[in-house]
Structure 1
Amino acid sequence: MTLQTDITSVDQHSVHSTGAEDLSRTLPYLTADFYRFQDQLSDEERGHIGRVRAFFESEVAPIANEYWAKAEFPMHLVPGLARIGAFGPFVPEVRQFENTAVYRGWAALEMGRIDAGIATFVGVQSGLAMGSIDVGGSPQQRAEWLPKLASAEVLGAFGLTEPLSGSDSARGLRTTARREGDTWVLNGAKRWIGNATFADIVIVYAKDVADGQVKGFIVDTTTPGFTATKIEDKIALRSVQNADITLTDVRVPESMRLQRIRSFREVAVVLRLTRCEVAWQAVGVAIGAYEAALAYAQEREQFGKRIVAHQLIQDLLVRSLSNITASIAICSRASAMQDAGEQGDEHSALAKAFATSRMRETVGYAREIMGGNGIVLDKGVARFFADAEAIYSYEGTREMNTLIVGRAITGEAAFV
C-alpha cells in the first residue's frame, strides 16, 4: 500500500505522456517526508522522481516478493530502469537531464522504499561500475563504456571485497596484477560481488606487484581464467546475485586498465560518492517498512479497536518517523555538500553510519508493530526487515564509518 498525502497521484500513463514539470505538480509527498524535504528539488527533478516512483510502484512492487523468495533477479526490468535514467545520472555524457546529488539521493530512496534488491543492482551498475570508469577511466574508456552501461547494453559489477579482505581493503588486497608488456596478469579472489553472475564486465581492483599500489581493470567476464559462482542461501537481498570470483592468470590488455586509478585514493573517491547514496537507500528501506506497518496498524483490530489507536503502537510509529526524518536531514545536507564540492569522507561516512543504524531500528519497530505477521513476506515488512541487515554492513560497516568520522574529529586514526 502506498501512503502519500492527498494529492493527485502519478499514474504510469502520465510518465510517458507529460513533461517533468507537469509530473512535479502531481507528485504526491510521501507521508514519511514529514518536513517535506523533497521541496529542495527543482520542478524538473521532482518530475523525474515521479518517473522513478511510478516505475517502481507499477513494475517492481508486484514482483519483489516473488523474486526475493526465488533468489532470482528479474532481468526483464533492466530495460525499464535504463529508460527512467537509473544508470549514470551523475555522468555528463549520458545523463538524461542535469541533476544534483540531492536528486540522486531521492532516487535511491524511492528505489529502496520499494525493493532494496533492485536498488542495490542499480547501485552496482551505476554508482560502482560506472562510477569507477567515471573517476578512473581515460577519455577513450569513458566514451566506449559509459554509454553502453547507461543503456544497459553492457551490465557491470565491482570487484573490491575479497574473502579475507573487506574493511581493510585499503591495505589488505591480496589479488595481484603483474604487467607483462602490454598485458596484465591478474590472480586472486573476490567475494560478495553483486551482479557478477550475469555481468559482461567487472571492475577488478588488484595490487600491482611492481609498486604495491592498487590498480583498476575492466575485465571481460568471458576471459579465460575468470569464474563467478553464485553465493547461495542468503537471508538478505536474495534477488541480488552476489558471487565468489576467482581469477587465475586472467590476462587483461593495458587498454583495459583504468588509466587514472593509481592508488587506493582514487578508489576511495568512488566509495565516498556511492556511500552517501547507500545512506539514502537505507532511508528508503526504513520508509518502506514504516509505510507497511502504518497501513497494517490502520486495519488490524485487537482489544476491540484498531491497533493504530493504541498508545504503544503510536509510540513506535513516531519513533520510526523520527528516525526517518533525522536520516533524511543528514543525507540531504551531505548530498548538498557533495554538490558544493565540500563533502569529505567523514561526511558520507557519518551519513551512512547514522542512516543505516536508524534503518535497522526502524525495521525492527515495524516488525514489532505487526507481531507474528511481521515475519511473512505478504504482509510487507519481512523483506525490508531481512534486507536491512545487508545494507547495514555493505559499503562500510557502522564501525568502520565511525572510525572515519572519529579520525576527522580527533585527528587520531584508531583503525587498528
Structure 2
Amino acid sequence: MTTTPAVLTDDLRGADFYHYEALLSHEERAILLKARAFLRDAVKPLINEHWKKGEFPVELVERFRGSGLTALPYEGYGAHRPAASHLLGGMLAMEMSRVDASVATFFGVHDGLSFYSVLTGGDREQRERWLPAMASMEKIGAFALTEPLGGSDVSGGMRTTAERRGDTWVLNGAKRWIGNATFADHVVVWARDVDDNQVKGFVVEKGTPGFVPVKIEGKIALRIVQNAEITLTDVRVPEADRLQNISSFRDVAEILRFTRSGVAWQALGVMIGAYELALAYARERRQFGRPIAGFQMVQDLLVKCLGDITASWGMLVQLARLQDQGVFRDEHSALAKGFTTSRMREVVAAAREIFGGDGIVLDHDVARFFADAEALYSYEGTRQMQTLIVGKSITGQSAFV
C-alpha cells in the first residue's frame, strides 16, 4: 500500500494520535481533505439551527451533488471512477459524523443502505435504471426494514406482507424509524412473501397510492434526520420493481453486514467531534487563574477519550483491511459496531462533563453530539444483539431467543 508521510499538519492531528490517516494513499488523503473542507464550509454552519427545528437542510442535497463525494464505495453506474478503498470510505463516514451525525446518517441511508440494496439486489436492468440517478443524488433513496411492533426479531417476525397478483405485488403493513422517508424519491421496502414466507425487496416510488410516510416528531437525537412511520395499504408494485436478486432475509443480512461497519465509523466520528470540542474548551476555559486543561481530572477525562478514539480507530482500520481482502464476516462488523458505539457513549459523556453547565446547551455543539450518540448506539442492531452475533461465532452456540 502506498502511504503518505507519517507527519500530519491538519487540524485532526490531535485526535489522530497514532497517525492512522497516513495509511491512506496520497490520492485518498486528498479526497479526505477535500471532504473535510466541504463539510466545514458547506455543512457545519447549517447544522445547529436545523437540529433545533428538527428540519433537514434540503439545500445540502444540491451541494452534495457537486461535491464528488457521492457513491465513492462503488464503481460504475454514474460514479465514473474506481471504487474507493474501504479505509477511505470509512474515514469519509467518520469525517461526516465528526461534523454532524444526522448528515452522516442521511448519507448512510441513501448512499449505503438504499444504494447498496439496489446494487446487490437488483438485476442489471434495475441497477442501470436507478443507480446513476442515485449516484448523482438526482434521486434520493430510503430503506424500510424496521417495523413498529418489531425490532431485532425482524428476520423471523416481519409483519409487512407481499402478495403476488399476476405481474403486480400488493404490500400491506407498516414500517417505523425510516430515515429520509418523508422526502425520498423511492424507498426499498422489505416484506414477507405470503406464498413462500421469504423476505423480498421492493422499490416503492414516491407518491404510490397507499404508501403514506408520516414524520416522527419529538426526537431527542438525530433531529435533522427525517425519520418516518410508513403505512402500506394495498400498495401495488410491479414485478419489474421487485429486487430480482433478493430471495430471503439472508440477502438482507448481507446488506446490513456491509452498512453496519459504516455505523462503527460514524461512532468514531462522533467521538472525535466531541473530543475536539472538549479539548478546545479546556484550553480556553479558565478557573482559579488558569485553563482547566491544566487540571488533573480534566486531563484524565481527555486522555480516556483519546484512548477510546485510538483503540476504536485501530479496530476499524483492520476491519477495512478485511473488507478489502474479501474475508470480512458478520461477526467482524458486529464486534466493531458494538465496541465503538459503547466507547462513543463514554466519550460524549466525558466531553459534556468537561463543559460543565455549558455542555447542555446547543451553542457549544457538544450537547448535540451527546444526544445524537444515543441513536447510533441503538440503530442497525443494539450492543446486545452484536454481542450475540459475536458470541455465537466464538462459542459455536446460539444464544438467540
Confirm or deny: 8 A CA contact 2:121 2:244 kept in the other structure: yes
TM-score by length of 1: 0.93
How much does 1:27 deviate? 5.4
Which of 80, 90, 95 matches 1:110?
A: 95
Residues 234-270 of structure 1: CA deviation (Å, up to 9, x unaligned):
0000000000000000000000000001001111111
> Corresponding residue for 1:381?
366
Match of 1:62 in 2: 45
Q: Secondary structure at the match of 1:62?
A: helix
Q: Which residue of 2 aligns with 1:84?
A: 67
What residue is the counterpart of 1:10 in the other structure?
Answer: none
Q: Residues 45 and 96 from structure 1, CA distance in 2 versus in 1: closer, same or farther, beyond 3 angstroms?
A: farther
Cα displacement (A) at 1:95: 2.9
Q: Which amino acid aligns with 1:255?
A: A
User: Cα deviation per residue 1:133-171 (whole Å; 9 max; x = unaligned)?
Assistant: 011010011111111111111111000000012211111
Task: Say if 2:215 and 2:226, in contact at 8 Å, map to a contact too.
Answer: yes
**How far 1:221 sits from its partner (Å)?**
2.0
Give me the whole-angstrom Cα distance separating, in 2, the residues matched to 1:341 and 1:95. Answer: 22
Share of identical aligned residues, percent? 59
Q: Distance in 2 between matches of 1:182 and 1:43?
A: 51
Q: Secondary structure at the match of 1:61?
A: helix
Q: Distance in 2 between matches of 1:95 and 1:103?
A: 16
Which residue of structure 2 lines up, in the alignment, with residue 35 of structure 1? 18
1:206 aligns with 2:180: no
Q: Secondary structure at the match of 2:45?
A: coil
Within a 5 Å distance, the mapping from 1:310-349 to structure 2 comes to 310-349=295-334
Structure 2-normalised TM-score?
0.96
Are residues 1:140 and 2:125 paired?
yes
Q: 1:246 aligns with which of 231, 234, 244?
A: 231
Give, in angstroms, the shift of residue 379 of structure 1.
1.2
CA shift for structure 1 position 97: 3.4
**Corresponding residue of 1:351:** 336
Whether the 8 Å contact between 1:353 and 1:401 is mirrored in structure 2 is yes
Q: Alpha carbon RMSD of aligned pairs, Å?
A: 1.4
Checking the alignment, whether the CA contact within 8 Å between 2:162 and 2:169 is kept in structure 1 is yes
CA contact (8 A) 2:79 2:132 kept: no
1:28, distance to aligned residue in structure 2 (A) = 5.2
Query: Which residue is 1:52 aligned to?
Result: 35
Is residue 304 of structure 1 aligned with residue 269 of structure 2?
A: no
> Which range is displaced more, 90-99 or 114-123?
90-99
Q: 1:404 maps to which residue? A: 389
Instruction: Please give the per-residue CA displacement for 1:63-118, whole angstroms capped at 9, x wherever unaligned.
Output: 11111001000010112223233332222113353311111000000000001010
Unpaired stretches in structure 1, ≥5 consecutive residues: 1-20
* Contact 1:279/1:355, CA 8 A, preserved across alignment: yes
Give the C-alpha shift of residue 196 in structure 1. Answer: 0.3
Q: Distance in 1 between matches of 2:14 and 2:81?
A: 27
Asked if 1 retains the 8 angstrom alpha-carbon contact of 2:64 and 2:70, the reply is yes
Distance 2:362 2:104 in 1: 18
The 1:69–1:146 alpha-carbon spacing in structure 2 relative to 1, beyond 3 Å, is same
Q: Deviations over 1:273-309 (max 9, x none)?
A: 1100110010000110000011110010112211000
Counterpart AA for 1:71: G
Cα deviation, residue 31, structure 1: 1.5
1:293 aligns with 2:282: no
What's the secondary structure of 2:256's corresponding residue?
A: helix
CA distance in 2, matches of 1:85, 1:268: 29
| Aligned residues of 1:149 and 1:155 also touching (Cα < 8 A) | yes
State the aligned residue count. Answer: 394
Q: For 1:43 and 1:330, how far apart are their aligned partners in 2? A: 22
* Structure 2 equivalent of residue 97 of structure 1: 81
**Of 379, 396, 400, which residue of structure 2 is paired with 1:394?**
379
Letter in 2 for 1:68: W
Instruction: Name the amino acid aligned to 1:236.
Output: A
User: Map of 1:152-191 to 2, 5 A cutoff?
Assistant: 152-191=137-176
Q: Gaps spanning 5+ residues in structure 2: where? A: none
Cα shift at 1:415: 1.3
Structure 2 CA distance for aligned equivalents of residues 375 and 95 of structure 1? 41
Q: Judge conservation of contact 2:8–2:19 (CA < 8 Å) in 1.
A: no
User: How many angstroms does 1:26 deviate by?
Assistant: 7.6
Aligned to 1:8: none
- Deviation string for 1:284-340 (max 9, x for gaps)? 001100000111100101122110000000000000000000000111111110111
In the alignment, the residues of structure 2 paired with residue 287 and residue 26 of structure 1 have an alpha-carbon distance, to the nearest angstrom, of 17
Q: In the alignment, which of 149, 154, 161 is matched to residue 134 of structure 2?
A: 149
Q: 1:391 to 1:25 in 2, by over 3 A?
A: closer
Distance 1:405 1:227 in 2: 37
